[in-house]
């Protein structure tokens, strides 16, 4: 995957992003946008790192990111002492718009660069089910706690409990579990199967966890004393 035009980008492992030009302005039209011939994207953590052309020593740069092309919904407006910026990845997938301009401490601000599109697509991880443990057996216990690992950038979770491994016969389903555990009550005797996935802030689901079975069994028969 390549980046086009000014920005090179270092992206976290849990999402993919790319910066694309939205105008045909050349580097000569705006010297801030130097034509870097496509820089590779690498994964380094949960920070986004953008770089642009260095215009010389002592230059301060104003960086802006917005949700709209007209920059009425600005989410980042920051001065940078170097031609680069690092910030936490946004919480939601979508289209963002970025631009920069030089700020000369001894003179007026320069013109903003041509607006570029920053496209973000979050890739959520699959949770890992902690409870119940693999092939757990609950004797005459009709309530059980389901617990799983937290997924970065998840807004909530989608849990499905079924009576069959193919999840055709769903016993319980909740698409808006706010945390990483839930108590399920009034279970009948038999075998159950659980799976859970993370849901992003914009409603997109990640992959489901591995299926976890467990069994509710009746109590052992009591000894009958014959007289």
Q: Where are the domains of the chain?
A: 8-122, 129-217
Q: Write a three-state SS string for 26-40.
A: CCCCCCCCCCCCCCE
Domain 129-217 bears CATH identifier 2.60.40.10: yes
Query: What pLDDT does residue 29 have?
Result: 37
Residue 102 tokens read as 């030089």
Whether 8-122 shares its CATH topology with 129-217 is answered yes
Among candidate residues 30, 15, 140, 69, the one with its CA nearest the CA of residue 6: 30
Round to whole Å and give the CA distance between 170 and 163.
Answer: 6
3-state secondary structure at position 149: coil
Long-range contacts of 83-87 (CB under 8 A, 24+ apart): 83/51, 83/52, 83/53, 83/54, 83/55, 83/59, 84/49, 84/50, 84/51, 84/52, 85/49, 85/50, 86/47, 86/48, 86/49, 86/50, 87/47, 87/48
Query: What pLDDT does residue 119 have?
Result: 83
Query: What pLDDT does residue 94 have?
Result: 85
| Average pLDDT per block of 10 residues along the chain, 227 residues long | 39 38 35 34 60 88 94 95 89 88 83 89 90 88 93 94 96 96 94 96 92 92 66
Query: What pLDDT does residue 202 have?
Result: 85
Query: What pLDDT does residue 224 have?
Result: 63
Query: What pLDDT does residue 33 have?
Result: 37
The reported pTM is 0.63
Query: For the domain 8-122, what is the CATH code?
Result: 2.60.40.10
Query: What pLDDT does residue 121 have?
Result: 77
Query: What pLDDT does residue 135 have?
Result: 80
Q: How far is CA 134 from CA 45, 65, 96, 122, 176, in A?
A: 31, 46, 43, 30, 24
């Amino acid at each position: 995957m390549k980046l086009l035009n000014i920005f090179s980008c270092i992206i976290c492992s849990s999402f993919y992003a790319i910066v694309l030009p939205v105008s045909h302005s050349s580097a000569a039209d705006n010297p801030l946008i130097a034509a870097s011939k496509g820089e590779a994207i690498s994964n380094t953590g949960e920070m986004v790192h953008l770089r642009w052309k260095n215009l010389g020593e002592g230059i301060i740069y104003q960086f802006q990111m917005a949700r709209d092309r007209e920059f009425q919904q600005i989410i980042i407006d920051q001065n940078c002492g170097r031609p680069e910026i690092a910030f936490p990845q946004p919480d939601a997938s979508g289209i963002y718009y970025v631009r920069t301009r030089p700020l000369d401490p001894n003179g007026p601000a320069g013109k903003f660069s041509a607006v570029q599109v920053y496209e973000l697509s979050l890739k959520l991880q699959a949770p890992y089910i902690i409870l119940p443990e693999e092939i757990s057996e609950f004797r005459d216990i009709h309530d059980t706690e389901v617990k799983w690992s937290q997924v970065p950038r998840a807004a909530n979770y989608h849990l499905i409990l079924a009576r069959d491994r193919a999840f055709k016969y769903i016993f319980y389903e909740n698409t808006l579990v706010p945390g990483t555990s839930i108590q399920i009550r009034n279970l009948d005797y038999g075998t159950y199967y659980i799976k859970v996935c993370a849901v992003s802030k914009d409603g997109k689901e990640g992959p489901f966890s591995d299926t976890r079975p467990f069994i509710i069994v009746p109590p052992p028969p009591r000894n009958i004393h014959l007289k």
